[in-house]
Chains A and B, each alone.
Chain A
Amino acid sequence: MSSVDMIEKAVQSERTSFRQAAKDMDSLTRRPEQRETVGEVRVEDPRVRCNDVNVYYGEKHAVMGVNLDIGRNEVIAMIGPSGCGKSTFLRCLNRMNDTIVGCRVTGQIFMDDQDINASGIDVVPLRAMVGMVFQKPNPFPKSIWENVAFGPRIHGLAHNKAELEEMVVTSLQRAGLWEEVKDRLEQPGTGLSGGQQQRLCIARTIAVGPEVILMDEPCSALDPIATAVIEDLIDELRGHYSIVIVTHSMQQAARVSQRTAYFHLGNLIEVGETTQIFTNPVHKLTEDYITGRFG
């Protein structure tokens, strides 16, 4: 190869790499476009109905025009790569995004024909109705009893000590923790194992008597056995509550949910029956994600 050729080639490759860089810049600055959702987003008699929900973090458009129904007594799983907006969307449902500075939510989220984003809606009753379980077990550094009794107490749900006691016991029983902690209700909740702590958090959530429970990767800090216990519990809780669970474990989504929603770059790409999503997803992005062909 002559030196002239080499120079020519170098210039050429320089040019293409420059073009590539320009393209990259373009894709960075251009907002990712909104996509149509594949699959049936509506259900009959929904517990929660979301219409065109958008979330912005400052300039960033984190959730784009999501339409989705959450049925009664169903477990719906939200899956998708990190930063796809699934947790952000989850936190819209009880307006936990309010606590984040620079976060703006548009669109309507209806519960009982009431838009929870409407002005004049107080978040306190909303959060009593839509409980939340977080990624890391976060019991209060107080006794097990206090942890569960906190919710009923601040909402004034119990009229006397006996009622409060019954609420605490029922919640712990429903969370499958009663047998393990009934002899040590006065001990700190932080002294329990990770799985027990997470179930304590679930007990604390259901003590308030919510109708929807949001779970943000509830098992990501737990070992497989504790995870299995929680999953079993989720299956039982389905009889009483609508559950929305965000998870990074496809297997977990497949195990616990009836419907699955796949998020990608702020878009709700596909919704469907869990078995269909995990055996025969319609959208190419869903399939690539589920089969681990990402990036």
Chain B
Amino acid sequence: MGRVIVQSLEGHSVRRFDGELNNLHLQVLGIAGLATDQARLALRALHDRDSGAAREVMRRERDVDTLEVEVDEQIVAMLARRAPLALDLRIIISFSKMVTHLERIGDEAMRIAELCLRLHGAGEGAGGDALLADAYEMGRGAERMLSLALEVIDTLDAGRAEELLADRGRLQLEFEASLRRLARLTPGDGRAVARAIDAVLIMKALERIGDHARNLAEYVVYVVRGTDVRHRQDLRAPRGPE
């Protein structure tokens, strides 16, 4: 059931409120786009051994932080000015939390970029490379989730958000599989171990990005359905008459 909620951002008797909400939505989308882009760029740095891309990620990290602060200020102002209730309240509160998660996604992207730079500086290593290939695969998964999250934030489509929530744990499974592979590896070569650890850290970061993407989807579900689906195994059935 896809109650398209984007239109519901509008229609207030106070027209300015419509504008403010839409503006906020666009800004959140902007951060989301930037954070997704950061993650993509970090993955490219990993895959293509592109140090320039990694540095670009680190340079743009500050932009994400600035945007987050801006959006938070706007949210505080709106809370004070409009005293929003019901849907408006859920939207604003959720946006506020989403921004935090998006900023964390940016943080994780930067961590990946840092690790990439370290790996690029250290040269090649056979076992590690296999791991890095795993990490890249995982990264593709994380990226998919992230773009789905971006779409869901854009359209505020609870159905799609629930799809995202449904494939919970896939990244985690992959991460655990990689860890097992790491355990099989364990050669005496200290350098290889260091690379392997870096690779695992990258995978951990990717897993976190996946978690954040799921969190974003949870907030979208909360906005639309008004039910809190965090920390819940089952997803609630669609509710209520119009």
Contact = CB atoms under 8 A, between A and B. Distances in A.
A157 interface: no
A118 B149 CA distance: 61
Contacts of A281: 86
A273 to B, nearest CB: 13
A294 B13 CA distance: 6
Interface in A255-295: 277-284, 286-288, 290-295
Contacts of A251: 83
B83 A280 contact: no
Contact of A279 (B12, B89, B240): B89
A254 interface: yes
Contact of A291 (B85, B226, B227, B241): B85
Interface in B54-104: 83-90
B80 to A, nearest CB: 12
A291 B88 contact: yes
B121 interface: no
A293 B13 contact: yes
Nearest to A281: B86
B13 A250 contact: no
A291 B84 contact: yes
Nearest to A280: B226
Contacts of A293: 11-13
Contact of A38 (B90, B227, B241): B241
A153 B87 CA distance: 51
A239 to B, nearest CB: 27
B227 A280 contact: yes
Nearest to A276: B226
B19 to A, nearest CB: 14
Contact of B87 (A250, A254, A282, A291): A291
Nearest to B226: A280
A277 B14 CA distance: 21
Interface size class of A (residues with CB under 8 A): 20 to 34
Given A292-B12, A293-B11, A250 B85 contact: yes
Interface in B198-242: 226-227, 239-242
A240 to B, nearest CB: 29
A280 B85 contact: no
A292 B226 contact: no
Contact of B226 (A254, A279, A288, A294): A279
A288 B8 CA distance: 9
Contacts of B11: 288, 293
A295 B13 contact: yes
Interface in B1-55: 11-14, 17
A287 to B, nearest CB: 5
A287 B242 contact: no
B13 A279 contact: no
B83 A279 contact: no
Instruction: Determine which residue in A278, A287, A288, A292 has the highest number of CB atoms from chain B within 10 A of its CB, and name it.
Output: A292
A291 B86 contact: yes
A279 B241 contact: no
Contact of B13 (A38, A280, A287, A292): A292
A291 B227 CA distance: 18
A293 B83 CA distance: 14
Nearest to A282: B240
Contacts of B13: 292-295
A292 B227 contact: no
A287 B90 CA distance: 12
A282 B238 CA distance: 12
A278 B90 CA distance: 10
B88 to A, nearest CB: 5
Contact of A280 (B12, B17, B84, B90): B90
Given A280-B227, A293-B11, A287 B86 contact: yes
B87 A287 contact: yes
Contacts of A288: 11
A132 B226 CA distance: 36
Contacts of B241: 38, 282-283
A291 B14 CA distance: 10
Interface string A159-177: 0000000000000000000
Given A292-B12, A292-B17, A293-B13, A278 B86 contact: yes
Given A290-B86, A291-B86, 13 more contacts: A251-B83, A278-B85, A278-B86, A279-B85, A279-B86, A279-B90, A280-B227, A282-B239, A282-B240, A287-B87, A288-B11, A292-B14, A293-B13
14 contacts: A38-B241, A250-B85, A278-B85, A279-B85, A279-B90, A280-B90, A282-B240, A283-B241, A290-B85, A291-B85, A292-B13, A292-B88, A293-B11, A293-B12
Interface of B: 11-14, 17, 83-90, 226-227, 239-242
Q: 3 closest Cβ contacts across the A-B interface?
A: A280-B226, A293-B11, A290-B86
